[in-house]
Amino acid sequence: MAHSPLDIDEMREPIEHRSVRRPRVLSGIAPSGSLTLGNYLGALRRFVDGQPSHQGFFFVADLHATTIEHDPARLRALTWETARLFFAAGLDSEQSTVFVQSHVPAHVELAYLLESTAYVGELSRMIQFKEKGGRPRTRASLFTYPCLMAADILLYEPRSVPVGGDQDQHVELCRDVATRFNRQYGETFVVPSLDKAGLASRVADLLDPRSKMSKSAPAGAPGVVRMLDTPDVIRRKINRAVTDSHAEVRYDPVSRPGVSNLLDVIAVVSDRSPDDLATDFASYADLKRSCIDHVVELLAPVQRRYAELAQDQGHLISLLDAGATQAVVAAGPVLARARDAVGLV
C-alpha cells in the first residue's frame, strides 16, 4: 500500500509520539555560561511557545561547551542549571523530548560522518571560528563544531530550527552539508529550514549595544542580564544601560543602538512594534523603568519554578533520562541510514 508523506513522517516518529501529528522542531543551547535574557528571548521562550503546535526536541549542548577552554566542574554545574532552566521556562516532557546531548552517542557518530562531507574551506568561513579560533592552541573541535551541530539537527529530521541570529550561518552550513551528502550518497537527510527570531534575534549587550549579549561574558558583567539575576540586579544593570545624548525616545537601531535594544526587548515581551512603543515614553528614565518592569515580570515565574526544581535533583535526572531514551530511539534510524549510505557495514 502506498503511504502518504504524512504516514511516512509518522512512521519515523518515536512510538510514543505517533498519534500526535505536529511538525518537528529542534534546537539546543550550550552550557557555556549562565543563560541570558538573549538566550531566553532568542531561543528558549520560542521553544516553549511552539510546544502546543510542534513536536520539539530540545537539548543541552554540553559537547559544544568543550570546544573552548573549560573547567569540568563548572561545565557539570552549568549543564544542570541549563536543564533546570529548560523545564522552569515551561518545556514539558509530556510534550517535548528534552535531553542532554552527550547522553545520545549518535550525535558524535554522525558528526564524524559529516566531517567527512564538509570542506575545510566552508568551515574556515564560519564567523564564530574566525572570532574565537585560528590560533595554534585553538581546539580542533572548535573548527569542526558546525559538523556536530549539523549532526544534532539532522538526526531528528526537524522541519525547522529556531535559533537567534548568531546561529544562522551554522544552520545554513547544515543545509549545505545535508544537501551535498544526499547528492553524493542518495537521499538520506531531510534538509531543515531556519526559523529566524525576528526582533529577538540579537539582544544586545547593555553597555556595548553593537555586540550581542553573551552568556560567556565574565560572571557579573554589567551589560549582561542573566535569567537568574535577582530583580535588584536586573534593575541596576538596565539602569546603567548605555543610551545616547538625544532628548526624545526614537527607534533607530543603526544610529541609536542602545535605546533601540531596550525598545526591542519591551516589544518582544509585550508583542508590540518598537516604533509604536517609542511614543509611549517621555524620557530615557521612563523607558528604562518600563524595560525593568517587563523583564522582572517576565523572569519571575521562571525563577520561582527554577527554585522548586533545584530542590529535587533526582526528579531532574529522571526527566533527562527519559528524554535521552526517547532521543536515542528517534535518532537511530537516521544514523543507520547514514552509515549504510557511506558504505559502513
Q: Using the rule CB under 6 A, is 237 a contact of ligand TYM?
A: no
Residue of 203, 266, 298, 302 interacting with ligand TYM (CB under 6 A): 203
By the rule CB under 6 A, 24 interacts with ligand TYM: no
CB 163 to ligand TYM: min, Å: 3
Minimum CB separation of residue 87 from ligand TYM in Å reads: 16
DSSP per-residue codes, 130-185 = HHH--STTS-HHHHHHHHHHHHHHHTT--SEEE--GGGHHHHHHHHHHHHHHHHHH
Q: Does residue 152 interact with ligand TYM by CB under 6 A? A: yes
**Could you tell me the smallest distance in angstroms from the CB atom of residue 173 to ligand TYM?**
11
Q: CA-to-CA distance for 222 and 238, rounded, in angstroms? A: 9
Instruction: Name which of 14 and 146 has its Cβ closer to ligand TYM.
Output: 146
Q: Of 296, 301, 287, 299, which Cα lies nearest the Cα of 235? A: 296
User: Under DSSP, is residue 34 helix (H, G, I), strand (E, B) or coil?
Assistant: coil
Query: CB under 8 Å, gap of 24 or more: what pairs does 88-91 form?
Result: 88/302, 88/303, 88/305, 88/306, 88/309, 89/40, 89/44, 89/45, 89/47, 89/48, 89/302, 90/48, 90/51, 90/302, 91/47, 91/48, 91/51, 91/56, 91/58
* Site membership for ligand TYM, residue 151 (CB under 6 A): no
The DSSP symbol for 43 reads I
Residue 149 is a binding residue for ligand TYM (CB under 6 A): yes
Contact residue for ligand TYM among 38, 209, 223, 257 (CB under 6 A)? 38
Q: State which of residues 14, 24, 25, 43 lies at the interface with ligand TYM (CB under 6 A).
A: 43
Catalytic hit among 132, 196, 237, 288: 132
CB of 311 to ligand TYM, least distance (A): 26
Q: Indicate whether 153 belongs to the interface with ligand TYM (CB under 6 A).
A: yes
Tell me: does residue 195 bind ligand TYM (CB under 6 A): no
Angle of CA points 271, 275, 279, to nearest 5°: 100
Nearer to ligand TYM, 43 or 48 (CB): 43
Annotated catalytic, 212?
Answer: yes
Cβ(41)–Cβ(213) below 8 Å: no
**Residue nearest to ligand TYM as judged by C-beta position:** 42
Cβ neighbours of residue 82 under 8 Å, at least 6 residues apart?
A: 29, 31, 35, 60
237 among known catalytic residues: no
Is residue 61 near ligand TYM by the rule CB under 6 A? yes
Contact 62, 75 (CB under 8 A): yes
Q: Specify the stretch interacting with ligand TYM by CB under 6 A; choose among 83-91, 199-207, 240-248, 297-305.
A: 199-207
DSSP state of 99: E
Residue 215 annotated to the active site? yes
Rule CB under 6 A: is residue 42 a binding residue for ligand TYM? yes
- Rounded CA separation 138/280 (Å): 48
For ligand TYM, which is the closer residue by CB, 39 or 144?
Answer: 39
Cβ closer to ligand TYM: 153 or 277?
153
One-letter amino acid at 309 equals L
Amino acid occupying residue 160: S
Contact flag: residue 106 with ligand TYM (CB under 6 A):
no
Does 28 participate in binding ligand TYM (rule CB under 6 A)?
yes
Nearer to ligand TYM, 10 or 68 (CB): 68
Closest CA to 98 of 59, 49, 62, 61: 59
Check residue 212 for interaction with ligand TYM (CB under 6 A): yes
Burial (CB count within 10 angstroms: exposed 0-12, middle 13-18, buried 19+), residue 297: exposed
Interacting residue ranges for ligand TYM, rule: CB under 6 A: 27-30, 38-39, 42-43, 61, 64, 149, 152-153, 161, 163-164, 166-167, 200-203, 212-213
Catalytic machinery residues: 132, 212, 215
